[in-house]
Structure 1
Amino acid sequence: MKLHLTAFFLFSTTLLFAQRVTNEKEKYGDFNVIKINLSALTTGTYSFQYERALSNHTSLLLAAKFRPSAGLPFKSTIKSFLDTLSQGAGIDFVNNAKIGSYAITPEIRFYLGKGAMHGFYLAPFARYEGNKLNSWRYTLKTVNKTIVIDFTGKQNGIGAGLQIGAQYMLSNKISLDIWLVGPYLFADKIDANSITDLSDKTDQDLQDAKNDIEKYAKNYLPGHTVTANVTHTGATLNAKGTFYGARALGLAIGYRF
């Protein structure tokens, strides 16, 4: 008798879930969505996502983004802000830096609405990100001399956080994904170097440059341990630490299949 009741319960549960899946499929289509991040395009970044439903309220998503090496986006706005703070070194960085980047972000989404991949969601996520600094010109002007060092380098790190957003079906096939806010903690390592002829500079000049580079980096990299070294043949800059960031106000359009 117990065996019969157990079998009946399992059979009924299976039918109920199958009916929910059928209803969802009839209403919205299959449980796959491929998306392009429209907001990322404004910064010259190409970002794509693939999402697949696992159940009526859960899905897995994998996002990948890539930005070719280029100057910083919104350069004039950043320069105006730094100018109000009298941050000359920061303005120099904005003017000359060329940065390329990529990131891979897996996440699991828990939907609070009635259907898979529809309505508000909470999404724990992880992220691996790399940035390549192809050009950054550091300049130190003293009373008698000017020291110019051209850096190249890279930043790599991993992080984790929680994304809050909402996804809606605009039609049977087209979806709209809105990211409201996604705070995360990120741990990274930065390595930059330069091969520069500084043979005409004194040891004191090199020490002044080292101190100034470290001071500048610490101002813009809170929570990091920073070490610089400047010699007659070049310079290095290394930093390691953690910081808080956020994924926010994103907008992606998707095709469900």
Structure 2
Amino acid sequence: MKKFLSVLLVALFAVPAIAQDKPAVSEEPNVIKVNTLSLLVGTGSVFYERKLSDNMSGQLGVAYLSYKIGDSKFSGLILTPEARFYPKQNAIDGFYLAPYVRYQNFSLENTESNDKGTYTNFGGGLLFGRQWITNSGFTMDLFFGGHYSKGSVDVESGTDSFDVGKFEGFGLRVGFAIGFAF
């Protein structure tokens, strides 16, 4: 994990911008992208980012999770709104800081005991990232940051036998999204 984070940090700060002969401030006000790393944990996530000013954009992430921990199966919706601040006034193409909140609502099922329920979780954190947009509009977004969340289980049938520990407390949020600007 340390090696992966080291490579991520080097790529974030050392990789030169891909776009050549492009204005310092991107002309495209919108970006649609997919987080490729979230697919590794059974989550499909799509982001829409909109430039609001020279140094700020807003982004909304929508995801669907289908994940199993032990005998507990989670499936449901994740919403992640965030504000992105680009200190060099180059929104939506450059280095950014992004505070965010996250809402998660999952259906739960214990495959061994047939317990069923719902899990609701709220959290938030701060991301550091770098987004590149090429002349053709191809977009790459590399980000990482910290996250904290807390949730509650509502048992519909059976008992509370669900392992929600991986979704609560402090954690890491890492991603690499690709898409296009328009």
Same fold (TM over 0.5): yes
Instruction: Answer with 1 or 2: which has the greater Rg.
Output: 1
Whole-Å separation in 2 of the counterparts to 1:33 and 1:193: 40
The amino acid that maps onto 2:176 is: L
Write the letter of the residue equivalent to 2:147: Y
Specify the code of the residue in structure 2 equivalent to 1:169: I
Give the Cα separation in 1 of the matches to 2:43 and 2:124: 21
Identify unmatched segments of 5+ residues in structure 2: 1-22
**What are the equivalent positions in structure 2 for 1:143-222 lying under 5 Å apart?**
149-181=113-145, 183-195=146-158, 221=165
Counterpart CA distance in 2 for 1:43 and 1:101 is 14
Offset of residue 102 of structure 1: 1.4
Q: Does 1:244 align with 2:149?
A: no
Residue 35 (structure 1) aligned to one of 13, 33, 36? 33
Q: Structure 1 unaligned runs (5+)? A: 1-22, 73-92, 138-148, 196-209, 223-241
The Cα shift of 1:159 comes to 1.3
Higher helix share: 1
Report the secondary structure of 2:109's partner residue. Answer: strand
Q: How far 1:121 sits from its partner (Å)?
A: 0.8
Deviations 1:115-134 (A, max 9, x none): 11122111011111112112
Q: Distance in 1 between matches of 2:43 and 2:170?
A: 21
Distance 2:104 2:172 in 1: 14
Counterpart in the other structure of 1:97: 72
Cα deviation for residue 184 of structure 1 reads 2.3
Q: Which has the higher strand share?
A: 2
Deviations 1:12-59 (A, max 9, x none): xxxxxxxxxxx567xx44210011111112223211010011111110
1:60 is aligned, of 58, 61, 68, to 58
Aligned twin of 1:122? 97
Q: TM-score, with normalisation over the residues of structure 2?
A: 0.75
Amino acid corresponding to residue 137 of structure 2 in structure 1: K
Indicate the structure whose relative CO is greater, using CA pairs within 8 Å and at least 6 residues apart: 2
Distance 1:221 1:46 in 2: 21
- Number of equivalent positions: 159
Cα separation, 2, equivalents of 1:164 and 1:107: 12
Show CA shifts across 1:118-158 (max 9, x none).
22111011111112112342xxxxxxxxxxx3311111021
Instruction: State whether residues 51 and 60 of structure 1, in contact with CA within 8 Å, keep that contact through their aligned partners in structure 2.
Output: yes
The alignment's C-alpha RMSD in Å is: 2.6
Q: Does 1:135 align with 2:98?
A: no
CA distance in 1, matches of 2:72, 2:150: 22
Residue pair 1:29, 1:256 contacting (<8 A) in 2 also: no
Question: How far does residue 97 in structure 1 lie from its aligned partner after superposition?
Answer: 2.9
TM-score (norm 1): 0.55
